[in-house]
Amino acid sequence: MDLREDTNTAEAAEQSVFTAKLINVRPLVNMLKTIGFRPRAICTISTSGIVFTVEDAQCIVAQAYLRPTLFSIFDYNTQLAKELNMARLAEIDSEAHGEEVEAASEITQISLPLDNLIECLSLFYGPSGSSSLPGLSGSNQGGIQSTTAALGNQNPLDLRGATTAHIAFNGPGSDFELVLEERGTISMCRLATFIPEVPVDLEFSKFPTIQQLIIRSEWLRDAFNELDPTSDAVTLSISSTAPYFRISTIGNNGSTDMTYSKDEQILESFYCYEEQENRYKLSQILKCRQALAMSDKTKIRVNQRGFLSFQFMIPTDVDVSFVNFVYAPLLHADELGDDTMRYA
């Protein structure tokens, strides 16, 4: 980046609630794809980073956490964000208490089209990952305004296939702006943003965690590959005695049962305060497969109500990022008094 670019970035930061720069967008794209099973996401921006949240059927909540260290520039204008957010919150709820408004105004929260965001960030290399530099063009589709132009100056790092991105957001009602550059070609995209609905909170932390373990992701990937796809539910059991960790399904092809010992080569840590066995909808559990495929380790937690948390530790070029999935358990037939399955 030259001095002129530094000056332009500083001026933009003064006017924007949020500005950031990525040297390479691929880690961001990969993280967003892990939760891309829904078309829209809630984006929460704060001094701690960015969190993208999606939910499905009020029984699964997935979040991708992006810490500031992932970015070469990360500037969140707390004072401007507070001013804009407090004015908006006062309009929405004039009876809200001052302390509540003050706390809520410290973060910026918007709803945006996740599928379109991934599409924009992948513009230069496409879904297959191969570089595909476009020519001079412009478009406006599905809430995306995009302009692409070929410039004479080259990527100073000469990174083949490494797309840099400048991100800016000017506050509630503004577009989410992206400026992408690869080897002298620049594309500008604007995504429409919306006031988010109240997000679903499965309140995992509201009840104490009674079981926790960290497993090498390769073992969990093998287990998921063995699950019977005709099964409606998958059962997870964690016990203080052998078998310590068990995953099982029953489907048209028979039963599948996988058990794991407390061998340090498999389970890096293990904690079981109370033995419990819970069932979860298999089709929902499998939505985490992309995050699992990218991760090195997985932290599994179960709280007192049987809610399940998968936290995937995903390495990037500069840091370790996290993707978290929380699942509501299925109630057993004997609890319902019939043969149906419902969420707790």
Choose between 326 and 339: higher pLDDT: 326
Q: In this model, does residue 247 exceed pLDDT 50?
A: yes
Supply the pLDDT for residue 27.
92
End-to-end CA distance of the chain: 53
Beta strands 233-238 and 245-251 are antiparallel
**How much of the chain, in percent, has pLDDT values that exceed 70?**
76
Give the CA count within 13 Å in the CB-facing half-sphere of 107: 14
Instruction: Choose between 86 and 257: higher pLDDT.
Output: 257
Label residue 116 by pLDDT band (50, 70, 90).
Answer: very high
The pLDDT assigned to 341 comes to: 55
Q: What is the mean pLDDT of the chain?
A: 83
| 8 Å CB contact between 108 and 45 | yes
What average pLDDT does this structure show over 1-17? Answer: 52
Q: Is 221 exposed, middle or buried (0-12, 13-18, 19+ CB in 10 A)?
A: middle
Dihedral-angle region of residue 157 (phi above 0 means left; psi in -120 to 50 means alpha; beta otherwise): alpha
At residue 307, does pLDDT exceed 70? Answer: yes
Residue 45 CA: distances (Å) to CA of 18, 70, 77, 322, 325: 8, 14, 10, 16, 19
How far, in Å, CA of 295 to CA of 320, rounded? 10
pLDDT of res. 173: 87
Largest CA-CA distance found in the chain, in angstroms, rounded: 71
Tell me the pLDDT tens digit for each residue of 185-230.
Answer: 999 999 999 989 877 788 898 999 999 999 999 999 999 999 998 9
111-130 in b/e form (b: 16+ CB < 10 A) is: bbbbebbbbbbbbbbeeeee
Task: Report the distance separating Cα 109 and Cα 155, nearest Å.
Answer: 33
pLDDT at 101: 53
pLDDT given at position 338: 45
pLDDT at 203: 83
Give the pLDDT confidence score for residue 194 in this predicted structure.
Answer: 93
* Cβ–Cβ under 8 Å, residues 138 and 146: yes
Please give, one letter per residue, the 3-state secondary structure of 13-78.
Answer: HHHCCEEEEECCCHHHHHHHHCCCCCCEEEEEEECCEEEEEEEECCCEEEEEEECHHHCCEEEECH
pLDDT of residue 336: 42
Nearest one of 170, 167, 195 to 81, comparing CA atoms: 170
Comparing C-alpha atoms, which of 307, 309, 284, 303 is closest to residue 227?
284
* pLDDT confidence of residue 15: 75
Number of H helices, E strands in the chain: 9, 22
Choose the most confident range, by mean pLDDT, from 5-14, 197-206, 309-318: 309-318
For the ranges 40-44, 178-182, 261-265, the lowest mean pLDDT is seen at 261-265
The model's confidence at residue 145, banded by pLDDT at 50, 70 and 90, is: low
Region 138-156: what's the mean pLDDT?
A: 49
Q: Give the C-alpha distances (Å, rounded to integers) separating 325 from 4, 47, 60, 224.
A: 42, 23, 7, 15
Q: For the segment 76-104, what is each residue's pLDDT rounded down to a tens digit?
A: 999 998 888 776 666 655 555 555 555 55
Least confident residue range of 130-144, 164-178, 187-201, 241-255: 130-144
Q: 343 falls in which pLDDT band (50, 70, 90)?
A: low
pLDDT band (50, 70, 90) for residue 110:
very high
**For residue 201, what pLDDT is reported?**
81
The predicted model gives 130-159 an average pLDDT of 47
Cis peptide before 134 (omega within 30 of 0): no
CA distance 105 to 161: 38
Determine the pLDDT at residue 172. 86
| Secondary structure letter of residue 194 according to DSSP | B
